[in-house]
Each structure stands twice: as C-alpha cells, then as structure tokens.
Structure 1
C-alpha cells in the first residue's frame, strides 16, 4: 500500500513537472513566433539606468512589505508574539527557491522552516499562505480591472468583454472568500451535493480550506487593512514594469499600458509554466500590450526587462541564503 502511494505521488509529481515544462515551452514558442530577437536586443541595448534603479528600489520595498504582511498574518493565525527580524530572510528566500526550482518548492520550504523555527503547526503556516494568495489574487484583479477600465483599448469591444467578465467573476469570488468565507463555503457545498465529480470535490475542499484560513485572520477590519497593504505592495511591484517601460524610452503619458500588461502578466503566472514563471509571464504581457496597440518587439523588450528585475534579486537571494546563512536556533515565542 505504501509503495503504491509512493508511486502515485511520484507519478503526480512527474506529471506536474512535465505539464509545467510543456506549457512553459509552448508559451515561449508562441512569444517568439512573431518577434525578431535582433529587434528586441537592439531595444534592450538602449535601456536607461535611472528608471531601472527606481524599479529595483520599488521591488525591494515591495518584498519587505510582503514580509511584514506575512509576519502580521502569521501572528494573527498562530496567536503568538513572533519576532519580525528572523522571518524576513527565509520569507524572501522561499520566493527565490521557487524561482529556480519546479513545483513551487519554495512554498514547501517556507512551511517547514516557519513550522520548525517557531514551533507552529504546518497547517497554520499553510493557512496563512492561503490567505496570502487570496489577498494577492483579489488585489491584482482589482488593479487589472482599474487598468482595463481606464486604458483606451485598440481592439474591438467584443474581445474585451470576456476579459471584463473574467475579472468580474474573479473579483466577486475573491471578495466573497475574504469577507464571507463561511457563508460561501456552505453555499458551494449545498450546490455541489449529489455531484460526484472529483473536480467539484477538490474545489469544495480547497474552498473550505481557504474559508477556514480566512476565519483565522479575525475581523473584517483586519481583512480590510491586509487588503490595503496588499494593494500597496502590488502597486510597488507594478513600478518594476513601469520602470522598464520608461527605461526603454516609451512615453510617460502611456503608463496605463504597461500597468495593464503588469496586471495580466501577473495573473498569467497562475498558469503552469517554467520555474520563475518564464513563458507565461511574457505571453500574457504581450497579449495585454497587443490589446492597447504596442508593437511586439517593444512589448517583449519591456516585459523581458521587467521580468529579469522581478526574478534575479529573489533568485540570487534565495540561493545565497541557503548557501551562506547560518542555521538559526528556534526562536522563543510568547
């Protein structure tokens, strides 16, 4: 029985890795199909330094704010007075690990490290990470909807409607999980009664886990504060793509275009892809830029430059932290 379960887990792992590779390579092929690398390279050679420095500064501030948000949520869900300092390094390192290894192994590292370091149950850490993901989804959808509403799209209205509907459904679902999690879980469970689909069962189970995690956070006022913090950090991260846009000499009056591309590139990372989200990030960013009439070489140059800034610092930090950070003793908690 144990051997059978191990084989099933290995098979599932191999399938997930294979799906990510196939999807990521497919996205790369689609991106490169209509773009000449020589044009993209020529544009990248003209990049200006100052906007990139602003982008890097914003990215550092973004991740520090992310670490503080996770620390606040972990304190609330575990009901312990945790120190902030020892949580920042491994939190950022977990993103770097996921940026270079498949299967989002950085998430597993974060669960194990925080659980052992602070003597917190793995379930509590996982629940906190679920809340983190829900907050991120809701806030990036909000930013995407705002950008889509404000930008002048150069495509036909009928092509915009599916995007608007998708953002609306995601926003309503995310806000429901944030503010009425238990009610939403009961509603979905009742609607799914009598349905034997494994997919529906898995969805209901995931929704219950998300609802339980949100209940742990506490009052709706705390949720509002965490949502506001999430909006702030995603705006900071969007400056990376805006900085890449300005660095390549694109007009400042068109900043809504890279802002829209940032939102859709980020949402595209929900799709399985290569480690670091390479492939999916570029593909969905190019689709958003095409929506607002930006030519493919310029769009790809901007997205690649932004993606490098988003990937390299955390990847290098994660590898460096694993190699050189001294093992820390478990922290005493109140």
Structure 2
C-alpha cells in the first residue's frame, strides 16, 4: 500500500515543488504580466489544441489500420484522450496501459497489438520533435551546448530502432515470451516500416507537432511578446523531450521548467517566460482532461471501472497472456 501511494505522492510533490519555485522567484512581476494578457488568444490557443488532438486521433487510427484493427476517428481520438488523462495522474506514463485495455475490450485486439501501437506512436513522436529541434537550433542564438546531444540522441535512437526492426525480419520461436516479442516486432514492422506508412505517419507527426507548437506561439502573442518562432519551436522540443522522462505525472513541472529556461536563454523576461510556459501546459492539460471525461461517456460505464482498476492494479500476469 505504501509503495503504491508513494509512487504517486512523490512525483506529485516534485511537480508541485518545481512549479512553486518557478512562480515564487517571479512573484513580484507575475500579476503585472498577467494583466497584459489578451483572453481572445486563450480561446484561439484552445481551439488549435483541440485540432492537434483530432490529428493525433487520425494518426492513431492509421497506426491501428496498419495492424488490421479497424476503428473510427472518434474511437481512436477517445482512446488517446483517456490514456493521456490517466497519465496526468499515474506516474511513469503507466496510463498508456488504459489504451491497451480499451483495444482489447472494444476491438478484441491482442495485448501485443496494443503495446505495438503505442511503441509506433511514441517513436514517431520523439523522433519528429527531435528533427524539428535540429531544424530550429541553427536559428537560435546562445543555446547551451547540452541542447544538441539532447536533441540528437532521440534521432539516433529512432534510426537504430528502425535498423533493428529491419535486421530482425520475420522470426518465430517455441518459447512463449520470445514468440510474443517476435510477434510485437512483426506488428510494429507491419504498421510502420514500409514506404506508405513512413510517409503517412511521418507527415502526420510533423503536422501534429507543428500545430502543438502553434498553441505555444498563440500563448506568446497572448502576452504581447515577440519571441522568434524558432525559439518557440526549440522550447517545445526541449520541453517534450524532458517530459518524455517520466519524473512527474504528465511532465508537470519539468515541462514548464524546460520551456521557461529556453525562453529566458533567448532573452525573455523570467516572469513572462514562466507565465507562457505554465499557461501553455494548462491549456494542453485542460483540453486533455475535458477530452478524457468525454471519452468516459463515449466508452460507457465499464471504462470508469477500467480507470479505477488501472490506478490500483495495473496489468496482471493473467491479463498479459495472449488469447
């Protein structure tokens, strides 16, 4: 019981501590910065954020289609909303397990297919934002030296993963564990490692992250700032690469700190940089929570029980067995 509680409480305390420190150090200038905000841009940023989620749903629909799992756009988008809402509460991104249960319950997909679909989505996300970071880096002056390896490592990892999938080919094994692993590798290859999938998922991933960056760009305009677009791109890239390390639920605290630090290094006032980072993440998490609630209604009562079980138990050995 204590281990389960501490796994949630400790990351939450870290997140609250980071945010509290960020706000405390700029508290004197915070109210003045907020007084200059134009609420119209808040509405625009929220609308752009909703568009990004629909695009994510469309891409996930394409990933599942590559595994011969037929879904609607509303179903795939609801899947993502529910799992990402769980990730705002459950540490270490374990909320993604919710999506695996949904696919099993609603589409009779195997657990290996559910996990494989998540792997494909995550690899395209991380590699895409890293590529956008490489494109923006030459246009931003004064960035720390460690930004470059932070951005290049995911790209190298993505290339290495693709080569691994290609070298492995189609394999089978009598061993139950190995057979599951080989089946997952085959499913990932089928969904992503051919020209049409690479083009479709690559282009859609770029579109998703450009729209995500535009949310932050609109928030920048909300406070009347003139931050170069390349700086906004780099801030979102660094923020999401840092958030990919599951230190806090939903990356709360670490994401804002990375964004604010990048803006400050580019010459933005600390109070403004902090407010932009916090509001950007509030919009994105707010849309996530609203979408998660809508997804609960979409899937029905069983999904509420699913969320509760996921928070308490996770995947059991029996549930991980292939049908």
Bin for the TM-score computed over the shorter chain: 0.7 to 0.9
Q: Superposed, which structure 2 residues align to 1:158-307 within 5 Å?
A: 159-160=144-145, 162-177=146-161, 179-182=162-165, 212-217=186-191, 218-251=193-226, 254-307=228-281
Deviation at 1:327, TM superposition (A): 4.8
Provide the TM-score with structure 2 as the length reference. 0.79
2:86 to 77, 80, 97: 97
Q: Does the 8 A contact of 1:141 with 1:170 survive in 2?
A: yes
Deviation at 1:109, TM superposition (A): 1.5
Q: Superposed, which structure 2 residues align to 1:309-328 within 5 Å?
A: 309-322=283-296, 326-327=300-301
Does residue 72 in structure 1 map to residue 62 in structure 2? yes
> Which stretches in structure 2 are left out of the alignment for 5+ residues?
170-180, 304-323
Matched residue, 1:190:
none
Deviation at 1:323, TM superposition (A): 5.8
Deviation at 1:116, TM superposition (A): 1.0
Distance in 2 of aligned mates of 1:208 and 1:143: 32
Deviation at 1:67, TM superposition (A): 0.6
1:227–1:59 Cα change, 3 Å:
same
Does residue 31 in structure 1 map to residue 5 in structure 2? no
1:83–1:324 Cα change, 3 Å:
closer
Distance in 1 of aligned mates of 2:295 and 2:82: 6
Distance in 2 of aligned mates of 1:62 and 1:80: 23
1:165-208 Cα offsets, whole Å, 9 max, x none, are 2322221221332x42335779xxxxxxxxxxxxxxxxxxxx98
Distance in 2 of aligned mates of 1:28 and 1:86: 34
Higher relative contact order (CA 8 A, sep 6+): 1
1:97–1:84 Cα change, 3 Å:
same
Does residue 44 in structure 1 map to residue 34 in structure 2? yes
Provide the TM-score with structure 1 as the length reference. 0.77
SS of the equivalent of 1:227 reads helix
Which one is further off, 297-306 or 43-52?
43-52
Root mean square deviation of aligned Cα: 2.9
Q: Superposed, which structure 2 residues align to 1:5-24 within 5 Å?
A: 11=3, 13=4, 16-17=7-8, 20-21=11-12, 23-24=14-15
SS of the equivalent of 2:259 reads helix
Distance in 1 of aligned mates of 2:79 and 2:66: 19
1:72-124 Cα offsets, whole Å, 9 max, x none, are 111212x2433434333233222223224445353121110111100110110
1:300–1:111 Cα change, 3 Å:
same
Deviation at 1:243, TM superposition (A): 0.7
